[in-house]
Structure 1
Amino acid sequence: MPHLQQTLEQLRAALGDAAVVTGAAINQRHYSDWTGHAPACPAAVLLPRRTEDVAAALRICNAARQTIVPQGGMTGLAGGAVPRETDIALSLERMHGIEEIDPAAAAISVWAGTTLQEIQHAALDAGFLFPLDLGARGSCQIGGNIATNAGGNAVIRYGMTRDLVLGLEVVLADGRVLNLLNKMIKNNCGYDLKQCFIGSEGTLGVITRAILKLAPLPGETTTLLCALPDYASAVSLLRRVQRSVGTPQAYELMWQDFFCLGVSWLESPVAPMSLDYPLYVLLESAAARERLEQALEDAINAGEVVDAVLASSQAQAHALWKIREATGEFPLRMTPLNFDVSLPIGQIGDFAELCRQRLEQRWPGNRSVYFGHIGDRNLHLTVDCDSLPQPAPVFEIEELVYTAVGELGGSVSAEHGIGLLKRDFLHHSVSHEARQAMQQLKDCYDPNGILNPGKILG
């Protein structure tokens, strides 16, 4: 404790008393992320306002070998921002706001603590789209989105967060500030260092500012719900749409179990079509409606689509999306064990069936549902722990699912990161040699191991 108290005194002197919060004054939202995993009150919470504050804090903590856990909006789902009682949390919440929108460069410069929704609204006001979109848009912060390389609904058209970042400002563990800010798309001046920090979950440095790529507004979109006879049809329909009208804004596949569940949870649980089909896809496109209708007709004639509903209004489109957004109800209506994995697109159907069979063999009568943005190779699987023997065998289920992911050459984390919760399963997707190289990178940037200890590599 004397060591910690001395460090806190130095931090107060450098950042000001109001920027160092301790004890009962620490808000409980700093204890854990949305998973609620292993909540702990950190030794202190730092609330810097400037890059210089972050640099000073890291210099002090690095010299004292004091561990630091960077925190954003705390909306993560992998335990990546969860502190221990001996850690100091570094919150970026006061470092927020839009610095500049450059219409010529189609770029926006922001502080790391800015919420995703603020950035989306600023882009719209300037006549652009910032295409990253997540359900937690009102709470998540762009620094956390970048640190976890967030995905979301529009990856199929616009890519992951990594594809939307032009430049970064990052503070290293020893307090050095890397100015990697840049508005160009083409910039081949040696190593692209910013890529080291995108998806690193705060283990290599603290992101303080970012320059992000904006996109043209897509215009009016059309929403289409299709029923499909099999998984192969989901892939062939996607390719048909891409050839005919271009890549859609969203392509959300729902297996029958998920679709039926989503309909049953609607305020007025009336299905827009029969519940008897194996698969359903919710498609959103900015193409001309007539061209999309022609692509749909061709898909029906080819046997790829067996029934369809083309939304005739925004209200109807919203009603169709409500079925897909049933995931927001999971914590209220079940005890969900969620999986976020990616696989080669041709293997996703086989993977879903393999998991379903193995889960049923091991725990007969369990309830699991399958859904995902398969156009970007991402599948979500949720197991209802209430349908399992109690206490639920969480680790055994995780090992079963992630083993299957490894067998089919997939990734144990598509868009939520590794954090604490997937650390023990990383080997299913990343070779021993690659993990060694990751550790060497960690040792290079953070030789004293103060940044987000225990996350990703342990």
Structure 2
Amino acid sequence: MDTLINSLTDIVGKTGVLLGDDVAQRSVDWFTKASCQAKAIIRPQSTEQLSQVMTLCYEANQPVVTHGGLTGVVHGAVASPDELVVSLELMNQIEHIDAVGSTMQVQAGVTLQHVQEAAQEIDMQFALDLGARGSCTIGGNIATNAGGIRVIRYGMMRQQVLGLEVVLSDGTVVSSMNTMLKNNAGYDLKQMFMGSEGTLGIVTRAVLRLHPNMPSEQTAFVAVPSFDALTSLLKMASKELANSLSAFEALWNNHYALMTSATTKHTALLANNSLFYAIIETLGSDDEKDAEAFASVLEKALEAELITDAVLASSSSQREGIWAVREDIETLVHALDPMFSYDISLPITHMDEYVTALESKLKAQWPETCELVVFGHLGDGNLHIIVTVRDASQDARRQVEELVYGSLVKYNGSISAEHGVGLEKRDYLTLSRSPEEIALMKRLKQAMDPKGLLNPGKILA
């Protein structure tokens, strides 16, 4: 491999190759903080360099793992000592912005926050938003088909991408940098790579779709007495605020009580005696009219006893305080060590039944040590399940996984809503995909990456 690394150094330069401690100090998983074990990290500065890198790796039968912002939580960036990492961190430029056509052309290593800020500068917005915005990269967002808090209005990352450029395992560059909303000229090839977690090709550049900037934001934190009231509130908000509803996040009592306990940095927004809480947010263009409509919906919800109390943000700092309770994952990590985290989706109507049954199964297995925390994007059917049983063993983790994922089968739910599959969920893929679907995935993998060099072992065994 040393000969190959020397050849790759000739392509990307000495500063484009990291070895030894520079590799080991990289964390490849946000939750576990596990260090990178790869032989080397190769950092190309252009699509052309990456193409040359992959050509040599293909000729040498060298497996490659792609790295973006390293904010993933399903072990998708894990690399073994006999593998190389290709990091897109130096390909981090915004190349072009078309304010008329509402597009932005970027390199894969640019961070989500940088894209958001660049859009704001021309009075537009990039609709994807998630807590890791400052670190996660556009390439990673595409590779995992990221979701976030505004899916209910704008859709997943898949809906934000018009064109892609990708390097295949043999170094072939497939450039389909489409800038048009409508383009039905044959297969939409970019769709193959979105959500493929780097197993079919390495995304190098993208054309992103922009939306008009919505200067008016209305945010409320509400207490909800029951799950039926929660779903009725979602239905009401979706109808009454149809043109502006951008987020509807749900917090079970166990999540809110933990986040606002005496041991955390968050002040309680409301009393912690409700079964559920919700964050409702709208984006609009007329602050006065939007505020009036928003307040009217909250009043109707109070009258209908769908909510029992509410806090309405009157400033950006108050809005940030509301969202901090929802987005502060570090507090959960410290409070629930060892923390087993799951990202699942299922029909909204079955969520309460699923969570109640899951909690009963967990308590039966670990009556004294189990703790369950639930929150998520209720509006798009995505829940985040956090479990600790005060046992960090692999056996305990496996037992919890089987309960969390196995309980989804009767509801036709998914083991992965927005985080991907990686290594962590690979063994459970059969719970969410049919044998025919998995067989087709394997055929596609074989056709696109015949030597199995790209992110080997991820998604498919």
**Counterpart among 207, 219, 222 of residue 218 in structure 2:** 222
SS at match of 1:100: strand
1:254 to 2:251 alignment: yes
Q: 1:390 to 1:73 in 2, by over 3 A?
A: closer
1:26 to 2:28 alignment: no
Letter matched to residue 25 of structure 2: Q
Contact 2:50 2:171 in 1 (8 A): yes
Q: 1:86 to 1:268 in 2, by over 3 A?
A: closer
1:152 to 2:148 alignment: yes
Corresponding residue for 1:122?
118
Give the alignment's TM-score, normalised by structure 1.
0.95
**Counterpart among 389, 405, 410 of residue 407 in structure 1:** 410
Q: Which piece of structure 1 moves more, 160-169 or 347-356?
A: 347-356
Aligned mates of 1:125, 1:257 — CA distance in 2? 40
Corresponding residue for 1:451?
454
**Counterpart among 363, 383, 398 of residue 387 in structure 2:** 383
1:240 to 2:236 alignment: yes
Aligned mates of 1:78, 1:269 — CA distance in 2? 28
Q: Which piece of structure 1 moves more, 43-52 or 279-288?
A: 279-288
Q: 1:92 to 1:309 in 2, by over 3 A?
A: same
1:220-277 Cα offsets, whole Å, 9 max, x none, are 2111122112112222211211211225221110111111111115766653322211
Residue 322 of structure 1 deviates from its aligned partner by: 2.7
Corresponding residue for 2:3?
6
1:178-207 Cα offsets, whole Å, 9 max, x none, are 011111111111111100000101000000
Q: 1:416 to 1:26 in 2, by over 3 A?
A: same
SS at match of 2:320: helix
SS at match of 2:384: strand
Letter matched to residue 20 of structure 2: G
Corresponding residue for 1:172?
168
1:348-385 Cα offsets, whole Å, 9 max, x none, are 12111111111111111311111111101100110124
Corresponding residue for 1:263?
260
Aligned mates of 2:205, 2:266 — CA distance in 1? 45
Aligned mates of 1:325, 1:92 — CA distance in 2? 26
Aligned mates of 1:106, 1:370 — CA distance in 2? 37
Aligned mates of 1:6, 1:368 — CA distance in 2? 50
Contact 2:248 2:278 in 1 (8 A): yes
Contact 2:215 2:283 in 1 (8 A): yes
Contact 1:265 1:326 in 2 (8 A): no
1:374 to 2:370 alignment: no
Aligned mates of 2:403, 2:329 — CA distance in 1? 22
Contact 2:31 2:333 in 1 (8 A): no
Corresponding residue for 1:359?
362
Corresponding residue for 1:192?
188
Q: Which piece of structure 1 moves more, 103-112 or 16-25?
A: 16-25
Letter matched to residue 190 of structure 1: G
Aligned mates of 1:160, 1:415 — CA distance in 2? 9
1:59 to 2:55 alignment: yes
Corresponding residue for 1:440?
443
Aligned mates of 1:183, 1:442 — CA distance in 2? 27
Aligned mates of 1:160, 1:362 — CA distance in 2? 36
Aligned mates of 1:126, 1:451 — CA distance in 2? 37
**Counterpart among 394, 398, 409 of residue 395 in structure 1:** 398
Residue 321 of structure 1 deviates from its aligned partner by: 2.3
Give the alignment's TM-score, normalised by structure 2.
0.94
Aligned mates of 2:226, 2:404 — CA distance in 1? 22
Contact 2:110 2:138 in 1 (8 A): yes
Q: Kindly, what percent of the aligned residue pairs are identical?
A: 41
The count of residues paired between Structure 1 and Structure 2 equals 453
Corresponding residue for 1:345?
348
1:140 to 2:150 alignment: no
Residue 25 of structure 1 deviates from its aligned partner by: 4.1
SS at match of 2:278: strand
Corresponding residue for 1:299?
301
Aligned mates of 1:432, 1:16 — CA distance in 2? 45
Q: List gaps (5 residues or longer) in structure 1.
A: none
* Aligned-residue CA RMSD (Å): 1.8
Letter matched to residue 381 of structure 1: I
Q: 1:265 to 1:182 in 2, by over 3 A?
A: farther
1:130-160 Cα offsets, whole Å, 9 max, x none, are 1211221111111011101111111111111
Aligned mates of 2:400, 2:17 — CA distance in 1? 41
Contact 1:48 1:94 in 2 (8 A): yes
Contact 1:218 1:286 in 2 (8 A): yes
SS at match of 1:42: coil
Aligned mates of 1:438, 1:392 — CA distance in 2? 29
Residue 314 of structure 1 deviates from its aligned partner by: 2.7
SS at match of 1:26: helix
